């Protein structure tokens, strides 16, 4: 295994928090990243636009800007990755991990070929195993809250070898419950990246919310 990739896998397992950034303006990204960093966030995902409203190349430019600005402080990756082209663009931009809403073996294999960490999204045991067999490092369980902790407890019993991350409906208050049923980490979007606060320029509030999640995770160690 590539040493850098191995270190990132260990970092994700240790940090247990990836913040999902979607649809944030170019001029707001750097102050947002600084606020997230101040709140204790060390992993940040910039999403591609599946509907094409934002060009893939524009998203890659944002990743490159953030990866350069946050060098040594935060690791940046891409989300909503649906194509091998997006994987390549992310790698070229300095992104280090790839998150998808689905299991697409070609995307997983491309990610691994470029020594990035692969985190596809899945829901059923069959999908989860398909992702692992294709080379996934983690599997994003999505939407986690729709099916809840009873479902997760049931599937983690036979799939205890899989590193599962939960995305969707996670709060500081329920985070510990998800950890107790086998979830290894979390992807948090709108719970932290609140558009109203960004538009108001209240990055201090965003840092405080990020810290609430960080504190909840640390409290369950």
CATH, residue 147: 3.20.20.70
Q: How high is the mean pLDDT of the chain?
A: 96
How far apart CA 57 and CA 210 sit, in angstroms, is 28
pLDDT at 220: 57
pLDDT score at 219: 87
pTM attached to this predicted model: 0.96
Segments in the chain forming alpha helices (H)? 3-15, 26-38, 56-69, 84-93, 105-113, 125-134, 144-156, 175-180, 195-199, 203-219
Structure tokens at 127: 């999908």
Encode pLDDT of 144-153 as tens digits. 999 999 999 9
pLDDT of residue 221: 53
pLDDT tens digits for range 13-30? 999 999 999 999 999 999
Query: Does 2 have pLDDT greater than 80?
Result: no
Rounded to whole angstroms, what are the CA distances from 65 to 5, 76, 92, 94, 180? 21, 10, 12, 9, 37
Q: pLDDT tens digits, residue range 86-127? A: 999 999 999 999 999 999 999 999 999 999 999 999 999 999
Domain count, the chain: 1
Q: Which residues are catalytic?
A: 45, 140
Q: Which domain holds residue 31?
A: 3-219
pLDDT single digits (tens) 175-205: 999 999 999 999 999 999 999 999 999 999 9
Judge whether residue 1 has pLDDT over 70.
no
Q: Based on C-alpha coordinates, what's the Rg of the chain?
A: 16
pLDDT digits (tens, 9 = 90+) for 51-67: 999 999 999 999 999 99
How much of the chain exceeds pLDDT 70, in percent? 99
Give the Cα separation of 104 and 80 in Å (integer): 12
């Amino acid at each position: 295994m590539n040493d850098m990739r191995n270190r990132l896998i260990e970092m994700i397992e240790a940090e247990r928090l990836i913040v999902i950034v979607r649809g944030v303006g170019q001029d707001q990204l750097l102050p947002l990243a600084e606020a997230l960093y101040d709140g204790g966030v060390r992993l940040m995902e910039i999403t591609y636009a599946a509907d094409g409203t934002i060009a893939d190349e524009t998203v890659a430019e944002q990743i490159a800007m953030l990866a350069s600005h946050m060098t040594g402080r935060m690791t940046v990756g891409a989300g909503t990755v649906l194509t091998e082209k997006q994987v390549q663009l992310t790698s070229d931009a300095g992104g280090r991990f790839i998150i998808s809403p689905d299991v697409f073996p070609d995307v997983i294999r491309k990610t691994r070929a470029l020594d990035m960490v692969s985190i596809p999204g899945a829901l059923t045991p069959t999908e989860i195993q398909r992702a692992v067999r294709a080379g996934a490092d983690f599997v994003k369980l999505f939407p986690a809250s729709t099916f809840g902790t009873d479902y997760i407890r049931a599937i983690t019993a036979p799939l205890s070898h899989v590193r599962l991350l939960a995305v969707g409906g996670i709060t500081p208050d329920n985070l510990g419950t998800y950890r107790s049923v086998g979830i290894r980490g979390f992807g948090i979007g709108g719970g932290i990246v609140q558009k109203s606060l960004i538009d108001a320029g209240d990055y201090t509030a965003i840092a405080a919310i990020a810290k609430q999640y960080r504190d909840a995770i640390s409290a369950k160690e």
